[in-house]
Amino acid sequence: MDDLFEDFPIYEPEDGKLCSKCGIRKPETEFRIIGRNDYRRTECDSCLKENEQLRRDLYKQHEKPGDDYQCPICERLVKDIPFANRSPLVLDHCHDTKTFRGWICDYCNRGLGAFGDDLGRLQNAINYLRGHYDKEEG
């Protein structure tokens, strides 16, 4: 009886991809393809759907500011931020607490995302830039 399923393939996602949000290794088919080079997103479909729903809910609760709004990070006015085909503002939220943080420009949002919203990494970047400017001035 033990060898009844001997030739039946066993699902083992070890050749899959690790989701950057939930930390679970899943088959690559559970990650959406983006771009033209078959690049797959870093978060799985279920985490992506959960995040999309959270953003929809937060959009309903927080009205988008007008063109006289200033990004709190780069301090540029919305009307002065170059952006094609869509608004330069994005709804920023904490991925851990799932709470609204505010409206920031897409450029600053990408910057925060590149640093993984990690205060230590951001401080390291500040220290790195300061070190460069200190050398230039000295």
Domain range list for the chain: 1-61, 63-138
Q: At the fourth CATH level, which superfamily is domain 63-138?
A: His-Me finger endonucleases (3.40.1800.10)
Query: What pLDDT is recorded for position 122?
Result: 94
Mean pLDDT of the residues in the chain: 85
- The parts of the chain modelled with pLDDT lower than 70 are 1-14, 84-85, 138
Query: What pLDDT is recorded for position 111?
Result: 92
Tell me if 89 sits within 8 A of 59, measured CB to CB: no
Query: What pLDDT is recorded for position 137?
Result: 76
Q: Give the list of residues 6+ apart from residue 32 with CB closer than 8 angstroms, or none.
A: 40, 41, 45, 48
Determine the residue type at 77: L
Query: What pLDDT is recorded for position 15?
Result: 74
Query: What pLDDT is recorded for position 102?
Result: 96
Query: What pLDDT is recorded for position 60?
Result: 95
**Residue with token string 């039946």:** 8
